[in-house]
């Protein structure tokens, strides 16, 4: 069931929060030894919270709905370990803003989902529930796998490059990366503050719209129909030749199907010099990341993975401040220019990953794709509508103008109905 259906079923007396939570816990007990989506689960606390909801002690738009949060997000009642042995057993004294807002809305926290080390490259133990030999992608690996494997209907992730959209695509769930800066990040581990956002992993566009409003701390509004034919522009971007041929075919075919379903379909080319955003993103994220983690670098260098030490940290520690500032100015300039290029386009259509989940643990396919869109601060959704040559999921990514997240949901809902 989706979160929206759970809320309705509990309100209608057809189930209880306790029953839903127990079903999730049973699924976790049956499957998580294989999937490894969870870093920490507290069944007793979850059942107690569900019973409190069932007794009516707390109402709200998520009343009784179980949720999970990536293990870089603070919780007052569970450890938050950031995917590193350095912070083993770390116990925050309060909830992150997004957790407190979820509980305020009646959500029932099941536990913490596996993150890659510091939400960066080094993978955790999570496997793709569609094929346990394959990666779930990262860095919100556990959040995507848990939702995909029916262990929980909603999970919070984060995104600094592609850490929500990519695992959503690989695991075949709905993923959402909001407009940069709208959601409070207090209590969420900072990776690169100029790029970090929350992310939502869910089972429907409706659930994403609902949970987005909960995490904004505003009364949820249902998705308003567009009221006209959506204008969807296929955007191949500078990295089109990096997508697997099947992925390119699937997305082009989807644009034809949407046209046949009544959408106005055009093509949209980003200005050629937006290719600078790839380097700009890498420069900004590495420079910031290496400073954010000064304490760990100075005191626990030996406990950091070789992947991270030789990659982002090596790049970032000696990064040039002048290049960093120039990269931020490039990103800012491209964002302002993109604002003027939308015309009457509602959303852009592009793939949500280069292709299917690979065999193994490596979790970071498609970085250039995400560098582009994440540094533009635009909201995006991954819709689980494609299957690749090995039967694994691939997402269609829809992207809207900054702050047009609600329009994005309306178009995503329409497109998902037409593509499935």
The residues binding its own copies (CB under 8 A) are 76, 87, 90, 93-97, 99-101, 103-104, 181-182, 184-187, 189-190, 193-194, 216-218, 288, 290-296, 298, 317, 321, 325, 328-329, 336, 403
Identify the active-site residue in 17, 140, 141, 163.
Answer: 163
By C-beta, is 133 or 299 nearer to its own copies? 299
Nearest distance in Å: CB 321, its own copies = 5
Nearest distance in Å: CB 332, its own copies = 9
Identify the active-site residue in 70, 255, 305, 380.
Answer: 70
Nearest distance in Å: CB 218, its own copies = 5
By C-beta, is 120 or 382 nearer to its own copies? 120
Nearest distance in Å: CB 190, its own copies = 4
What's the 3-state SS for the chain? CCHHHHHHHHHCCCCCHHHHHHHHHHHHHHHHHHHCCEEEECHHHHHHHHHHHHCCCCCCCCCCCEEEEECCECECCECCCCCCHHHCCCCCCCCCHHHHHHHHCCCEEEEEECCCHHHCCCCCCCCECCECCECCCCCCHHHHHHHHCCCCCEEEEEECCCCCHHHHHHHCCEEEECCCCCCCCCCECCCCCCCCEEEEEECCHHHHHHHHHHHHCCCCCCCCCCCCCCEEEECCCCCHHHCCHHHHHHHHHHHHHHHHCCCEEEECCCCHHHHHHHHHHHHHHHHHHHHHCHHHHHHHHHHCCHHHHHHHHHHHHCCCHHHHHHHHHHHHHHHHHHHCCCCCCCEEEEECCCCCCCECCCCCCCHHHHHHHHHCCCCEEEEEEEECCCCCEEEEEEECCCCCHHHHHHHHHHHHHHHC
By C-beta, is 154 or 188 nearer to its own copies? 188
Identify the active-site residue in 17, 139, 255, 382.
Answer: 139
By C-beta, is 12 or 89 nearer to its own copies? 89
By C-beta, is 169 or 192 nearer to its own copies? 192
Nearest distance in Å: CB 8, its own copies = 24
Nearest distance in Å: CB 305, its own copies = 18
Residue at token pair 């103008």: 401
Question: Known catalytic residue: 70?
Answer: yes
Question: Known catalytic residue: 139?
Answer: yes
By C-beta, is 254 or 284 nearer to its own copies? 284
Q: Which residues are known to be catalytic?
A: 70, 139, 163
């Amino acid at each position: 069931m989706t979160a929206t259906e759970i809320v309705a079923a509990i309100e209608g007396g057809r189930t209880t929060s306790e029953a839903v939570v127990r079903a999730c816990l049973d699924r976790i007990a049956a499957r998580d030894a294989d999937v490894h989506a969870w870093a920490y689960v507290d069944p007793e606390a979850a059942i107690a919270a569900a019973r409190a909801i069932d007794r009516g002690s707390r109402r709200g738009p998520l009343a009784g709905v179980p949720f999970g949060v990536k293990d870089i997000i603070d919780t007052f009642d569970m450890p938050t370990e950031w995917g590193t042995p350095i912070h083993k057993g770390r116990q925050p004294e309060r909830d992150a803003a997004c957790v407190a807002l979820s509980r305020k809305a009646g959500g029932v926290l099941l536990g913490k989902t596996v993150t890659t080390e510091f939400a960066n490259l080094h993978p955790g133990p999570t496997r793709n529930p569609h094929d346990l030999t394959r990666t779930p992608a990262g860095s919100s690996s556990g959040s995507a796998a848990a939702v995909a494997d029916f262990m929980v209907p909603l999970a919070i992730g984060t995104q600094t490059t592609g850490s929500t959209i990519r695992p959503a695509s690989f695991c075949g769930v709905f993923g959402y990366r909001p407009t940069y800066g709208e959601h409070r990040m207090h209590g969420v581990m900072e990776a690169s503050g100029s790029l970090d956002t929350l992310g939502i992993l869910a089972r429907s566009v409706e659930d994403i719209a609902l949970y987005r409003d909960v995490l904004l701390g505003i009364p949820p509004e249902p998705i308003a129909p567009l009221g006209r034919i959506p204008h969807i522009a296929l955007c191949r971007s500078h990295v089109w030749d990096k997508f697997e041929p099947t992925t390119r075919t699937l997305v082009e075919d989807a644009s034809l199907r949407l046209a046949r379903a009544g959408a106005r379909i055009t093509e949209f080319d980003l200005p050629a010099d937006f290719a600078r955003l790839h380097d700009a993103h890498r420069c900004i994220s590495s420079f910031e990341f290496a400073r954010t983690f000064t304490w760990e670098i100075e005191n626990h260098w030996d406990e950091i993975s070789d992947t991270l030490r030789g990659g982002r940290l090596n790049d970032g520690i000696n990064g040039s401040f002048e290049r960093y500032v120039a990269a931020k100015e490039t990103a800012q300039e491209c964002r302002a220019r993109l604002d003027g290029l939308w015309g009457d386009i509602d959303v852009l259509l592009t793939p949500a990953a280069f292709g299917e989940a690979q065999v193994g643990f490596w979790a970071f396919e498609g970085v250039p794709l995400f560098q582009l869109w994440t540094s533009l601060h635009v909201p995006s959704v991954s819709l689980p509508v494609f299957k690749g040559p090995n039967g694994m999921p691939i997402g269609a990514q829809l992207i809207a103008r900054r702050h047009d997240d609600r329009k994005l949901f309306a178009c995503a809902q329409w497109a998902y109905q037409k593509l499935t």
